[in-house]
């Protein structure tokens, strides 16, 4: 297991290095170059040269790449062109909101998706199966921004059951520990804050969970259908085991293998979905930041975002692969 | 009274009948064989006894209703395509479930009429099963120790260390060296023969009175086959377990069985004590099976003698003998109604038997 983990970590660093190379190339390929953005149009050639030298742009490409890499490692992404604040600070402030939203959405998707997918498989061909499958098809078809807007109009504005925007009611006095408001509220014992945060989370989380929920339902259904036909499930039945034991130990443990992979991939893609949801609910996470950066062509900010998301994605994939080793002994032992 | 009495067992999957009135019995300490080629209904019979067939629509399998004007068997395509309608009185769609009818009396209780929960309490305890493919029959992500202890926990109430100790003892009993270490291993770390031993250990964990072995040696190579048969034989002799052996391999039958039932197209076509069957095979199908075994005393290039044709998808015994289209000795009387099973100790289902003998 240790060897496997080390091997995977090495693969991870290679992937990240490749990514930094791509990003650097993208940055270099942008038309104009930074000196044109920073200097007025009537600047002389010698002024341009001086600035290029000052920015290190006259160095060989590889030296520049080395410096670029060095800055990334120090988490120095430069300053945002629109706000002027360091990008790393902006991201760090906003990351917890997005993490909280993504986790909540994933909780809904997994908590509902796996049981629903299991039931659909067990009752294959019934109205329940049909309803679940068509529902999940609908879930993948509705654009997130539309669903988010509809939820907001119906449940927040018309019915008034839930708040329309932000993470907490304005003026709420909260203590910041992890940045995840619900968790903070629980840790500090401020349960009213935690509950307030939950209420603010519900609608955006539902909107964001629609696609992962639909995907998990379908994967679970297919995976369970695959597994229940296996000989070892028949063996388990032949042992006279209780249905709950057969379900948990023999069906679901095997059916979880593909589901775990999908959950990992979905968790990464949730960040992308969060951009739209957060802007609808003014949730104040990375999503809103990127939305702003995109509309204002804030390239350094975008690059910082891409890097953070990429690292997240790669790390999640590593975790999924490691959990795969825990779930499936055949992966663990294979050299 | 035998331990297991199967009477007139019928299994239908929607419109198609898989087992069409099979009766046989197994006594304590006896090894009874169910023999036949793929599709003759031998595995379905065993799964029906174990209550492991997917549930049908609750409709019990009925005796096939003869078509108003029974068509002669030999009339080729037309008869074949007409058959499905003539077989089911109440057609209907099936979701792959089986409709089971008849009786399987085990120690005074009809297993087929037991509620699912009551059957679950008996499965794995009073009657157990060993399956054909030892790799796919073990859960790949659960250590084999757990796969043994879960049955001990369920039926014998053993837990923790006690269960592990007993599991190690069982592995030792089925001839697996270093059992304590093996308990922690996963199925893919064991060889084919070892896996089959594990399956046998699971099956005998609660000292069942009836063991059903469905082609237990088919997936194994010859030397391992012999070892597994020895092990099963030993269990029968020392524990007095009744063994129902399902196989297509007459070598296995000769090696282990006391009584043999030859199945063809969902019915018993011949049943006899094993020596009697090999000495005086009566049904042309049995004769064909015996004749198709490769022989060491014939020249190498001598072609094998197969039974021509293949088993029909649809059972149509009511038209006459289902084996008739493949039989070399077919006569007009073969297709005049259902052939009856005649004889007591050595029974056969062939109207031409006198001529054959």
Each residue of A243-266: pLDDT tens digit? 888 988 999 999 998 898 888 888
Average pLDDT over residues A300-308: 82
Q: Residues B151-198: pLDDT tens digits?
A: 999 998 888 888 999 999 899 888 888 998 999 999 999 988 889 889
B72 neighbors B321 (Cβ within 8 angstroms): no
Q: Burial code of A3-34, b = ≥16 C-beta within 10 A, e = fewer?
A: ebeeeeeeebeeebeebbeebbeeeeeeeeeb
In this predicted structure, the answer to whether residue B244 has a pLDDT above a threshold of 80 is yes
Q: Residues B16-33: pLDDT tens digits?
A: 888 888 899 999 889 999
Average pLDDT over residues B199-224: 87
Q: Residues A35-62: pLDDT tens digits?
A: 666 677 777 888 878 877 777 777 788 8
B85 pLDDT band (50/70/90 cuts)? very low
Predicted pLDDT at A33: 63
Provide the mean pLDDT of chain A: 83
B91 pLDDT band (50/70/90 cuts)? very low
Predicted pLDDT at A117: 92
Predicted pLDDT at A280: 81
Tally: H helices and E strands in chain B: 12, 11
Determine what percent of chain A is predicted with pLDDT higher than 70.
Answer: 95
Which residues pair with residue B214 across a beta bridge? Answer: B246
Strands (E), B53-198: 99-106, 109-110, 127-130
Distance, C-alpha A250 to centroid of its chain: 31
How many residues are listed for chain A in this entry?
335
B76 pLDDT band (50/70/90 cuts)? very low
The dihedral over CA atoms of B346, B214, B169, B124, expressed in degrees to the nearest 10, equals -100
Q: Residues B125-147: pLDDT tens digits?
A: 899 999 888 889 999 999 999 99
B82 pLDDT band (50/70/90 cuts)? very low
In this predicted structure, the answer to whether residue B78 has a pLDDT above a threshold of 60 is no
Look at residues A313, A314, A306, A300 and name the one whose alpha carbon lies nearest to residue A83. Answer: A300
Predicted pLDDT at A200: 84
Domains detected in chain A: 18-73 (no CATH), 92-333 (1.10.3720.10)
CA distances from B89 to B13, B85, B92, B337 (A): 14, 8, 9, 19
A87 neighbors A301 (Cβ within 8 angstroms): yes
Model confidence pTM above 0.90: no
Least confident of A18-27, A102-111, B204-213: A18-27
For the record, the structure tokens of A12 come out as: 């991870």
Which strands form B127-130's sheet, in the order they lie side by side?
B127-130, B210-214, B242-247, B31-35, B259-264, B267-273, B347-348
Q: Which of B129, B141, B150 sits opposite A245 (nearest CB)?
A: B150
Predicted pLDDT at A318: 82
Rounded to 5°, the CA angle A210-A215-A216 comes to 100
Tell me which residues of chain B, numbers 204 to 243, contact chain A at a CB-CB cutoff of 8 Å. none
Predicted pLDDT at B60: 53
Q: Is B151 on the interface with A (CB under 8 A)?
A: yes
Q: Burial code of B16-34, b = ≥16 C-beta within 10 A, e = fewer?
A: bbbbbbbbbbbeeebbbbb
Count of CB atoms situated within 10 Å of the CB of A237: 22
Residues of B in contact with A236 (CB under 8 A): 139
Provide the mean pLDDT of chain B: 81
Predicted pLDDT at A111: 94
B70 neighbors B29 (Cβ within 8 angstroms): no
Phi and psi angles of residue A193, each rounded to the nearest 5 degrees, phi first: -65, -45
Residue with tokens 């104040």: A284
Q: Residues B284-293: pLDDT tens digits?
A: 888 888 888 8
Average pLDDT over residues B340-354: 81
Binary contact (A239, B202; C-beta < 8 A): yes
Determine what percent of chain B is predicted with pLDDT higher than 90.
Answer: 20
Interface of A with B (CB under 8 A): 124-125, 230-232, 234-243, 245, 249-250, 253-254, 257, 327-330, 333
For the record, the structure tokens of B158 come out as: 């053993």
Taking every pair of Cα atoms in chain B, the longest distance, rounded to a whole number of angstroms, is 68
Q: Residues B37-64: pLDDT tens digits?
A: 887 888 899 999 998 888 765 545 555 5
Average pLDDT over residues B205-220: 87
Average pLDDT over residues B341-346: 82
Predicted pLDDT at A37: 63
Q: Which of A237, A240, A250 sits opposite B155 (nearest CB)?
A: A240
Phi-psi domain of A93 (left: phi exceeds 0; alpha: psi -120 through 50; beta: other): alpha
Predicted pLDDT at B198: 92
Which strands form B99-106's sheet, in the order they lie side by side?
B16-26, B4-13, B99-106, B109-110
B217 pLDDT band (50/70/90 cuts)? confident
Q: Which residue has the higher pLDDT, B278 or A78?
A: B278
In this predicted structure, the answer to whether residue B263 has a pLDDT above a threshold of 50 is yes
Domains detected in chain B: 4-66+101-126+209-308 (3.40.50.300), 135-207 (no CATH)
Helix (H, G, I), strand (E, B) or coil at B227: helix
Average pLDDT over residues B294-314: 76
Tally: H helices and E strands in chain A: 15, 0
Predicted pLDDT at B313: 66
Predicted pLDDT at B94: 39
Residue with tokens 């000795």: B329
Tell me whether strands B109-110 and B210-214 are parallel, antiparallel or unpaired: unpaired
For the record, the structure tokens of A133 come out as: 């499958």
Helix (H, G, I), strand (E, B) or coil at A66: helix
Residues of A in contact with B120 (CB under 8 A): 240-243
Least confident of A137-151, A221-235, B55-69: B55-69
Determine what percent of chain A is predicted with pLDDT higher than 90.
Answer: 13
Q: Which residue has the higher pLDDT, B354 or B121?
A: B121
For the record, the structure tokens of B84 come out as: 């499905």
Q: Which of B95, B138, B142 sits opposite A253 (nearest CB)?
A: B142
Binary contact (B188, A231; C-beta < 8 A): no
């Amino acid at each position: 297991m240790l060897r496997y983990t080390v091997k995977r970590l090495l693969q991870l660093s290679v992937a990240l290095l490749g990514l930094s190379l791509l990003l650097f190339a993208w940055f270099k390929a942008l038309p104009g170059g930074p000196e044109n953005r920073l200097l007025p149009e009537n600047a002389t050639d010698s002024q341009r040269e001086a600035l290029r030298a000052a920015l290190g742009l006259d160095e060989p490409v590889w030296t520049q790449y080395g410096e670029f890499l060095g800055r990334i490692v120090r988490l120095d992404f430069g300053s945002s062109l629109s706000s002027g604040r360091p990008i790393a600070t902006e991201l760090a402030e906003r990351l917890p909101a997005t993490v909280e939203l993504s986790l909540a959405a994933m909780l809904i998707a997994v908590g509902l998706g796996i049981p629903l997918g299991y039931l659909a498989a067990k009752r294959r061909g019934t109205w329940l199966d049909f309803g679940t499958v068509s529902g999940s098809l609908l879930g993948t078809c509705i654009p997130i921004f539309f669903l988010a807007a509809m939820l907001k109009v119906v449940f927040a504005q018309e019915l008034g059951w839930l708040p329309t925007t932000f993470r907490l009611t304005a003026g709420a006095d909260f203590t910041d520990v992890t940045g995840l408001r619900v968790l903070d509220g629980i840790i500090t014992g401020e349960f009213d804050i935690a509950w307030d945060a939950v209420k603010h989370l519900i609608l955006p989380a539902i909107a964001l969970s629609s696609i992962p929920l639909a995907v998990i339902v379908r994967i679970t259904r297919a995976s369970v259908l695959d597994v229940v036909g296996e000989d070892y499930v028949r063996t388990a039945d032949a042992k006279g085991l209780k249905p709950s034991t057969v379900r948990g130990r023999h069906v679901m443990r095997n059916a979880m293998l593909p589901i775990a992979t999908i959950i990992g991939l979905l968790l990464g893609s949730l960040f992308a979905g969060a951009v739209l949801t957060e802007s609808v609910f003014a949730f104040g996470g990375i999503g809103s930041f990127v939305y702003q950066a995109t509309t204002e062509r804030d390239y350094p900010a975008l690059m910082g975002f891409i890097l953070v998301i990429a690292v997240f994605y790669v790390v999640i994939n590593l975790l999924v692969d490691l959990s795969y080793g825990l779930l499936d002994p055949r992966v663990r032992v294979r050299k | 009274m035998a331990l297991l009495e199967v009477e007139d067992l019928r299994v239908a999957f929607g419109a198609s009948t898989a087992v069409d009135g099979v009766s046989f019995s197994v006594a304590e300490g006896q090894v009874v064989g169910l023999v036949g080629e793929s599709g003759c209904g031998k595995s379905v019979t065993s799964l029906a006894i174990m209550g492991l067939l997917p549930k049908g629509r609750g409709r019990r399998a009925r005796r096939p209703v003869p078509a108003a004007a029974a068509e002669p068997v030999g009339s080729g395509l037309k008869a074949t395509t007409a058959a499905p309608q003539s077989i089911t009185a109440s057609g209907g769609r099936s979701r792959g479930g089986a409709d089971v009818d008849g009786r399987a009396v085990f120690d005074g209780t009809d297993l087929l009429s037991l509620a699912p929960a009551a059957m679950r309490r008996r499965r794995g305890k009073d009657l157990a099963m060993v399956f054909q493919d030892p790799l796919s029959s073990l859960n790949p992500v659960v250590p084999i120790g757990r796969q043994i202890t879960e049955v001990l926990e369920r039926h014998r109430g053993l837990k923790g260390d006690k269960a592990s100790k007993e599991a190690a003892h069982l592995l030792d009993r089925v001839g697996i060296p270093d059992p304590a270490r093996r308990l922690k291993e996963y199925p893919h770390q064991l060889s084919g023969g070892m896996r089959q031993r594990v399956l046998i250990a699971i099956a005998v964990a609660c000292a069942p009175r009836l063991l059903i072995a469905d082609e237990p040696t088919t997936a194994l190579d010859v030397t391992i086959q012999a070892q597994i048969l020895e092990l099963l034989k030993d269990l029968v002799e020392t524990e007095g377990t009744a063994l129902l052996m399902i196989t297509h391999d007459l070598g296995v039958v000769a090696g282990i069985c006391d009584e043999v039932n030859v199945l063809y197209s969902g019915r018993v076509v011949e049943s006899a004590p094993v020596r009697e069957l090999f000495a005086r095979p009566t049904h042309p199908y049995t004769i064909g099976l015996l004749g198709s075994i490769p022989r060491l005393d014939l020249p190498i290039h001598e072609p094998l003698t197969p039974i021509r044709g293949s088993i029909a998808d649809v059972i149509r015994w009511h038209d006459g003998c289902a084996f008739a289209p493949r039989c070399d000795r077919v006569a007009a009387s073969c297709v005049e109604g259902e052939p009856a099973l005649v004889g007591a100790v050595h029974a056969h289902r062939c109207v031409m038997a006198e001529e054959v003998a």
